[in-house]
Structure 1
């Protein structure tokens, strides 16, 4: 029985490093996602056509390869590419570099290098092969991460939300690795910039108006991508200022917006909106000292606010990661 268990849990030497291991029993249930054929195709393409190496490194890195042998070969090819620009790379140079690294035999010797060369006829589809390799890596990381989350949940001794925060950060870390930017030609950027400049012509407020004209004069409105901090001592009107700006954006500018409130509840915020639109003293609302005229004003304010695309989230434990996800 013990021998059978060892056979189930044993992994081929050099097949995967600690980064891709799954905590607990999940590691013994299924083999990790991989495409050794795609990995060999990427390496073969890099050896056949070193000019494609620049495209490859934009998609994958060393740890994207499942087999440790492929990681060694990838590192050797990158080293040769950086040292021998303009000279080229071939099987002989690769062999010498692996010998220097004392890992030629570990990767399978010159026979395996020849096998890699025969694995792909050309480098035409190298980007496609590289994306397959990266996708398999992301799946392995997801499996590893979910295993760690499972172990953490079983062994958690603190508050449950701490385990949730840890799980969220781990998943977002994988998501961030899958996000890759790309260079944009300057000619395309200047054309777009010219259009934006042209659209601003004749208007001193080039962003979203706050409804406070002096503030708009200083900031040119709320600009895309900016974060504005409203600072002040307690009870100095920070929330009122923010709600007035939201009211202007939602009702006057007809701009959809979301309000995330960590302190004040959604119902309290709704009441403040109603009092502001109807111009009724909030103390009268709170004490129930309303006349028929007040009720009419509140009904009109309610109808007006019902047309606005304003959303309120009063989750008090909202983290920056959760805010990002909801936004």
Structure 2
């Protein structure tokens, strides 16, 4: 299993050291979009996560402004930047205002701060300017390669690589409704012929049939259950189907389990050796042979894991976009939502979770991949008795999860509370919400001793 994806996209400056700058670098006209983004985020730090989907600190051409914006993002993550005053104090504490010219520049940024609603447009200009700079650098690299006398076929490939590296994954401009209508009709026709190019199979045939093929690009998917019922197991089952069976990259942000624990579960599921034996190492020779074979399978799988428990939603959005861009990730899972921290002061935990919900929806749409958000249900399920069926209203801490999600799958395992239940060994995947599709229940076999569910 491959390890975690990259690091923070931000450029950090050492405390007490101002970035190198010169008179020309503080040209207010040349870098006015960068100044506007900083000022807008300073006026209302709550827009920083959305701004990062359009521009990151690495997109800033002025090293001083890059340092300012990076400091605001870092401070917001740490819960230190909550308004204009705390933002200014935080930038000063980082040693980024070490001389009079920098103080003047910072003062101008504050005075010229635009309305927060205009910041996304300014951020897009920052990103566009960054792409232009990278294309200019790519042009020079191509000329250098040409002068080296490289073969024509090699030059063509190199040119494409340079352009791809310079491009970004920003959302496309608005289009007329008819511009892509023929493409949609072709896709609908392909579905009628049994082809499902837009769907990601879950590995459970009955569930895929209910979902008309599986998960869809851009969907926010909630997988929820009470603790110990198997919500993380189901998400990992879908990811194993994606990355092991189909060879497509997927990414797991694991805030609860360590990478070792994720690997143990995957080894148990693939080898069909009990998870307790895998954890203890107490296995027969035959079991060791199966685990070794599973190890070989997992080593080749493009299943990425980031087990940093301190990840904020801002971190996840930035890392996810990089993973989609650089590794071609087609499926993202977050385990689990209630462990997320925003780093910002919210009036209530419900508002914080509602903010996460909106950001996850935005992440799925901007990256055009399904994002599985694993969530816990509240105790109301258990209080209704052993045979109570979970409902979307049982989602903990926020009704926004049900509202924002395109797909809500709840897991009901009758033997979770009663080991002697007549349906012991079974689990129900309840599709409680399916935007534009059918709802219903699919029964699967519970093999949690192997850390997996399987079709009946």
Who is 1:192 aligned against? 183
Q: Is structure 2 residue 237 aligned with structure 1 residue 320?
A: no
Q: Could you tell me how far apart the structure 2 residues matched to 1:232 and 1:325 are?
A: 28
Query: 1:181: how far off?
Result: 4.8
Query: 1:264: how far off?
Result: 0.2
Q: Is the 8 A contact 1:264 1:314 kept in 2?
A: yes
Q: Could you tell me how far apart the structure 2 residues matched to 1:181 and 1:273 are?
A: 37
Counterparts of residues 53-72 of structure 1 (less than 5 Å): none
Q: Could you tell me how far apart the structure 2 residues matched to 1:322 and 1:151 are?
A: 14
Who is 1:301 aligned against? 294
Who is 2:78 aligned against? 161
Who is 1:227 aligned against? 220
Counterparts of residues 130-279 of structure 1 (less than 5 Å): 143=64, 146-147=67-68, 161-163=78-80, 175=123, 178=126, 181-203=172-194, 206-220=198-212, 221-279=214-272
> Please, which moves more after superposition, 236-245 or 202-211?
202-211
Query: 1:247: how far off?
Result: 1.0
Query: 1:309: how far off?
Result: 1.0
Q: Could you tell me how far apart the structure 1 residues matched to 2:23 and 2:310 are?
A: 37
Whichever structure has more helix as a proportion of its residues is 1
Q: Is the 8 A contact 1:275 1:282 kept in 2?
A: yes
RMSD of equivalent CA atoms = 4.1
- Gaps of at least 5 residues in structure 2 are 1-17, 38-59, 91-115, 128-170, 321-456
Counterpart secondary structure, 1:263: coil
Counterpart secondary structure, 1:231: strand
Q: Is structure 2 residue 27 aligned with structure 1 residue 33?
A: yes
Distance 1:282 1:152, change over 3 A: closer
Query: 1:254: how far off?
Result: 1.8
Q: Could you tell me how far apart the structure 2 residues matched to 1:304 and 1:275 are?
A: 12
Q: Could you tell me how far apart the structure 2 residues matched to 1:151 and 1:308 are?
A: 37
Distance 1:164 1:319, change over 3 A: farther
Q: Greater Rg, structure 1 or structure 2?
A: 1
Distance 1:286 1:178, change over 3 A: same
Query: 1:238: how far off?
Result: 0.5
Q: Could you tell me how far apart the structure 2 residues matched to 1:29 and 1:255 are?
A: 47
Q: Could you tell me how far apart the structure 1 residues matched to 2:307 and 2:277 are?
A: 25
- Gaps of at least 5 residues in structure 1 are 1-24, 40-59, 65-137
Q: Is the 8 A contact 1:152 1:163 kept in 2?
A: no
Q: Is the 8 A contact 2:77 2:314 kept in 1?
A: no
Q: Could you tell me how far apart the structure 2 residues matched to 1:224 and 1:160 are?
A: 28
Who is 1:55 aligned against? none
Who is 2:282 aligned against? 289
Counterparts of residues 60-139 of structure 1 (less than 5 Å): none
Q: Could you tell me how far apart the structure 2 residues matched to 1:200 and 1:254 are?
A: 22
Distance 1:292 1:321, change over 3 A: same
